[in-house]
Chain A
Amino acid sequence: MAVTSFLKRRSADLVSWLQAGPMMLVFVLFFLLPLAFVIMVSFWDYNEYEMIPTLTTRGYTETFEGCIAQMPELCTILKTYLKTLKLCFLVWLLTLLIGFTVAYFLAFHVQSKTWQIALSLICTIPFWTSNVIRMIAWIPLLGRNGLVNQGLISAGVIKQPLEWLLFSEFAVVLALVHLFTFFMVVPIFNSMIRIDKRLIEAAYDAGATGWQTLWNVIIPLAKPGMVIGSIFVITIVMGDFVTIGVMGGQQIAAAGKIIEVRLNALQFPAAAANAVILLGVTFLIIASLSRLVDVRKEL
């Protein structure tokens, strides 16, 4: 008995793996193995034109160079990570606030199903278009002679065009919020749409004000979506180098940017060491966030 049920189980597993195997194979070849190679190469040595497979921690020690000697002054890598975390926090806060409000409107204030679908699509369509184009789209608005500066000058608010609108930290945050609020809207909306409307009725009938209902009923129940959205946004911003590069005029240092710079200099082990550090930091953030919610239950 036990043997036949075991065999049956085995053959059922076999069918499942025939179905899921090809996808797993892609992940093994292009995600898991590459990650393993990143960790391996991060402990290799290198010279100007090639990597040398001998065990060394040079990639790491060079990255943290001067961190102890310069104390209490912060070394470059710590400064860069602090700046990345600061950007990350700002973008997270803004995308969360905007994303929550948009999702709340869609889930609770748009009554007709057709409108709900139509408005959700309007929020989604930009996600299917190019990020780079959505970045350069800010140039005619924020540039030295852009619409914002023209408007402010003709309104007499300023005399000289504002220089910090484009190719600045402001522009980076703006573009990141512009690009990635979508990642907050979808999971939060998904959580909200599953809230039993009768709970809200009950809160209302029990005399709760709108704000009390929001704070004590909706936010706790929408928390899983907020956490999932946060994980998306934070990991994207932590590793970003494209938006920070384009919108920062290639002048702002960030965690992802360091890796790109090292790569352009063909210092693969150093790039890999930085990638491992970034991976560690990102993993810590995700691990602490995902304690708040069971991701798999939320799909």
Chain B
Amino acid sequence: MREGRSKAFYLLALFFGAYVLFLYGPMFAIFILSFQGPDGGLTFPMNGVSLHWFGKLFSGTGIVDIGAAFVRSLKLGLVVMVLTVVLSVAAGMAFRKRFAGSALLFYTAIGSLIVPSIITSLGIALEFRLIDDFVRKTLVEWGAGSWASEWSTGMGLYTSGLGAHLTWTLPFGLLIMFAIFNRFDGRLEEAARDLGATPWQTFRHVVLPIILPSVVGIGLFGFTLSWDELARSSQAIGPVNTLPLELQGLTTTVTKPDIYALGTLTSAVSFLVIFAALGTIKLLQSRQARHGSDAGKGMV
């Protein structure tokens, strides 16, 4: 835009640097502190270096059953990820054409994104309470009173919990699909159709390969948003907790660095997923660049 680097550039670069430090600085502080020695406290200085607090997490002598919560969150995150990808891509395809009710779905998705999480969570909790009451009443009416007293709740990780997470991840998935298709060249599909491809073939062999890197991005949002979800899960998760909920519970009673160890571990999973996803996206993009044009290569 302008010749050379202006003074404004250096000022803004400095500001940006400070912002990045503000973003990452505190996080790295707890990563370092999680390697405190056995006698170390919650703050600097380090009192030796050890894996003591990580060991304590897994030995089970710690505060809560972290291993179980860890596995629960991981499984739920994967289910949320798959559903977010499939439902978002399908709905995104629908939005390529005008259809009756498209505005309704769009505004519902936006609403789901911006209605405060605590309200959605409360609503789901109420819904399941009403369902539970209804089930008990119906069972009694059918003369199955013993079953009725055994019925505790329909709330759970893969019912209310899954639903709560999807209300948070699906809007992101849909918005990403919008962003993809705003930059998508529709002539490619027309060409496929003209060459006699069925709608499914067009999708499978033309559209999907092109949008695949972004679809991986949707998966990344799906998993990480679920893995860290807290506000919506708070009332709707049912009898067992996810990892973020356990972690939040710990914040009120925190006195030892094991909470940092747990934080470091959780973040490690996040970073692993983030870099795996980004790597996959990069790989797919470079493959696309290489195979970008098959002009003159003929059909294989």
Contact = CB atoms under 8 A, between A and B. Distances in A.
Interface of chain A, helix or strand or loop or mixed?
helix
Contacts of B122: 34, 38, 259, 263, 268, 271-272, 275
A123 interface: yes
- In this complex, the interface size class of chain B, counting residues with CB under 8 Å from chain A, is 35 or more
Interface stretch (A62-70, A71-79, A152-160, A237-245): A237-245
Contacts of B15: 101-102, 105
6 contacts: A27-B170, A30-B124, A33-B123, A197-B1, A259-B118, A279-B115
Closest 6 CB pairs of A and B: A239-B116, A34-B123, A30-B163, A16-B99, A137-B26, A19-B94
Contact of A131 (B22, B230, B273, B274): B230
A119 interface: yes
A31 B105 CA distance: 12
Interface in A85-139: 98, 101-102, 104-106, 108-109, 111, 119, 121-123, 125-126, 128-139
Interface string A33-62: 111111001000000000100000000000
Nearest to A101: B15
Given A26-B163, A101-B15, A282 B115 contact: yes
Contacts of B267: 129-130, 133
B163 A29 contact: yes
A37 B251 contact: no
Contacts of A16: 94, 97, 99, 102
Interface of chain B, helix or strand or loop or mixed?
helix
A162 interface: no
Contacts of A141: 25-26, 29
B170 A136 contact: no
Contacts of A133: 27, 30, 247, 263, 266-267
Interface stretch (B51-59, B139-147, B173-181): B173-181
Interface string B89-106: 011011101011110111
Interface of A: 12-13, 15-17, 19-20, 22-24, 26-27, 29-38, 41, 51, 98, 101-102, 104-106, 108-109, 111, 119, 121-123, 125-126, 128-141, 143, 145-147, 150, 178, 181, 197, 200-201, 204, 210, 231-232, 235-236, 238-242, 246, 250, 256, 259-260, 263, 268, 271-272, 275, 278-279, 282, 286, 295-296, 299
A30 B167 contact: yes
Which of B99, B108, B119, B278 gathers most chain A CB within 10 Å? B119
